[in-house]
Amino acid sequence: MIAEALLQAGARVIITSRNNAALAAAEMRAMGDCDGIDADLSSPASAVALADAVKARVETLNILVNNAGRTWGAPLDAYPDEAWDAVMPINVQVPFTLVRDLLPVLEAAGTASDPARILNIGSIAGNSVHRLSAYAYTASKAALHHLTRELASDLARRHVAANIIVPGWFPTDMTAEVRADADKTAATLKKIPFSRFGTAAEIGAVAVFLASPAAAYITGAEIPVDGGISGCR
């Protein structure tokens, strides 16, 4: 959703996926200049390799979107230790590693009046309790929210802004189980003041705004895009 919005806004976009990134990029070229790199971001080492591949293709990087993520749900009494090892690296450490290793090309793109942008993708589960029984996931998103603030503080003088987009319920693979069940869907919609899921255009527009000159004076911000869940409680 975000990649398509950035393409439609005129950005050159490099997308990543565990597999078939080149095929997806070819399909998206109808919207603009798009390239793809296969990268399984389940470990920091894979993030280092991705950063190296990106730096081999570009000398400057205006926008970095950290969106790869994983969840793991189970009852508290049965929640496995392996869930933490599976979730925390991809949701917290990998975004940090990508920022660290792509910092040279981000700094090369940023200026005092138009900094380079880091857009981390958080979750409403990272700033309030939603009883999801996804303990590693919710803790990881809370960590990513705070990591974004830390990065924003450290990078401001280096002409790099860092903000976090906080989505609510959108039609993604992660919400497919809920959307496939009428009762679960109805229960979820009751929690959303706007009583509907978000759309691709709505999440994409926020990313384009944060990457645009209109947001050049914004850093360290959490931007909820959740139909009112965060602000109407």
Burial (CB count within 10 angstroms: exposed 0-12, middle 13-18, buried 19+), residue 100: middle
What is the β-pairing status of strands 63-66 and 13-17? unpaired
Element (H, E) at 87: helix 81-88
* CA distances from residue 133 to 73, 86, 197 in whole angstroms, order as listed: 5, 16, 21
- Closest by CA to 9, choosing from 224, 201, 216, is 201
Indicate if 137 belongs to the active site.
Answer: yes
Strand ranges, E, within the chain = 13-17, 34-38, 63-66, 116-121, 160-167, 222-225
Q: What letters, b where the CB count within 10 A reaches 16 and e where it falls short, cover 214-225?
A: ebbeebbbbbbb
Please tell me which residue in 79, 135, 137, 217 is annotated as part of the active site.
Answer: 137
- Closest by CA to 165, choosing from 194, 202, 112, is 202
Contacts of 6 (CB under 8 A, 6+ apart): 13, 63, 65, 204, 207, 208, 211
Active site residues: 137
